[in-house]
Structure 1
Amino acid sequence: MARFRNKKKVVFVKPAKKQPQQNVDHVTGDKIPRSFVFSRLKLPGSLKQLQADLRKMMLPYTALNLKEKKRNNLKDFLNVAGPMGVTHFLMLSKTGSSPYLRVARTPQGPTLTFKIQEYSLAVDIANSQLRPRVPKDLFKNSPLIVLSGFGTGEQHLKLTTIMFQNIFPAIDIKTVKLSSCQRIVLLNYNKETKLIDFRHYSIRLQPVGVSRRIRKFVQNHQVPDLRSLQDVSDFVTKAGYGSESEGDEEAATVSLASDVGRVNKASTKSAVKLQEIGPRMTLQLIKIEDGLCSGTVIFSEYGNSEEKKEESEEGSEGDAEEGSEHEDE
């Protein structure tokens, strides 16, 4: 007799679809701004690292692993920006004199051009600190934005304020979770020097009136070494190392509306501490154009002569970019 083989049925498992990020905030109802951080032409090693730091700072609504090619031009990024909901471009470039940062609104502008006078990388700031602090979930939410010194009434400063306010998602004070506010971007304008100090901090809360030993014990859940003590009360009453006066200042304390972590409880006072995580930049606004890296010049810091010089440098960038594109083809 012929034998019949039992064919095993192969069970097909449908792969789970990865849900895309929402384009609209479900709380505020506003469109979530997204950004691309890329370079125009070749950058030196330090500016490449600055580009990586800026991408990390703009998380989570940015392309952290954006791949660039030599033949890519501005139109290529603009064609991809529309379907992905990208609203802003941050473009780094380097001329013979100094590096520049352009912040543009897509797809029709305006474009703000900043000259980078000084900058420090995130790794340099971390190396200068005794205890660098970068938790795992630090970049899970967007940073808060704080602008200082921009209320002079000048038109170009108003445009700068609007640009940086719209580059990060808006928050609703009534519904925002305090645990999601972990970073802050600070821009301070100096009226005398006409320079903008760009800083990036992490926000840390510490309960007021609690010794450092108790705070570390609650946070880490580790059994302390009590061999050298006569009683458990010695561990509680013994003064911890480090100064506690910094966090107990009245000006730096707030009353929490909800629990934040294991130590900071609602209706209790906690000290707010900022720790810089970088990058750090000193910027000078030199030009504002009404289009995307083109169009009518709304503001120019240097006047007509320097403006023509700046345009010639930018034109040489564009020619070099087109030349590299033809070479690749």
Structure 2
Amino acid sequence: MEVIRDGGGWGHTEVDDATQVGAARRQVALLCEEASLPSELAAKASLVVVELATNLRKHARRGHLFVKATHGRALDVVSVDHGPGMDLQRCFADGFSTTQTAGSGLGAVRRLASLFDAWSDAAGSVIFVRLGEIAASPVEYGSLAMPIRGETLSGDQWSLRMSGAAWSLVMADGLGHGPQAHAASDAVMRLGELDIPPAQLLSRAHEASRSTRGSAAAVLRRKAADAPLEFASVGNVQCVVHGRDDAETLPSQNGTVGGAFPAVRERVVPVHGRSLAIMHTDGFTSRWSLERYPGLRARHPQIVCGVLFRDCYRGRDDATLVAIRS
């Protein structure tokens, strides 16, 4: 079984002046060193980050750059900006520039990438680059996570456990912010198991969380490629499942894992084709719909996360968002 766990571990740089380009480059160099990534990959990462950060500084009203070492020997980079948007076909062609430069940077970014996707509309652009090895998997996912400004630890955490086409996604939002909130969500993360039904897992998490301040938590599971989704949630964690022609918001029960805990009800959701499930904490507004973005549902889940971060991030709380397609 493969275990992927993220406790808000995206490195984040808000790019609003020239000094942040250097800051982003130093951040990715440190991340590559901590993850013991090969020097060739670290050099590619530096080139990509500098180009994307420079692009944000020159062309965007406001931009964010996210970097994260992924499972295996790879690195993900996500650029998110708040406008004015761009013509992707022209911008990624060598020689195109709006600032009298050589115009080869974004095309080079795409050539260096092992996996690449991009999105742009009037509200801004999202670029996703994966560098390094790509592990074959029937499950495709993306995420973005960051603590509230001023904190280094997030009270939000998520984990994804996979075995073939089977997977289980667990998300927890510890009450409040900082180390105590992180400890509360950590009690939930330690209990994620692929073969435990969602309601039973939340009940176990409740017992393990009694000594913490408590959390909101949700579990979404699929036991096989042709199996339905199984879901249970306590507290304010939202999950929406998008099918080919519709979307269903899965209900969460009032209560607190580790506190006032209800009798948990489990929901079974039949799905057909390449369904996309999106789960997030209340660091994002719940008033969104993928219908506003024609074609976005079919893009890589990391692009979906970037667009929703751009348009739905509150900025007043820890925030975690995961999109998964199988």
Q: TM-score range by the shorter chain?
A: under 0.3
Richer in strand (by share) = 2
- Greater relative contact order, per chain length (Cα 8 Å cut-off, separation 6+): 1
Using the size of structure 2 for normalisation, the TM-score is: 0.26
What is the TM-score with the length of structure 1 in the denominator?
A: 0.26
Which structure's CA Rg is the greater one? 1
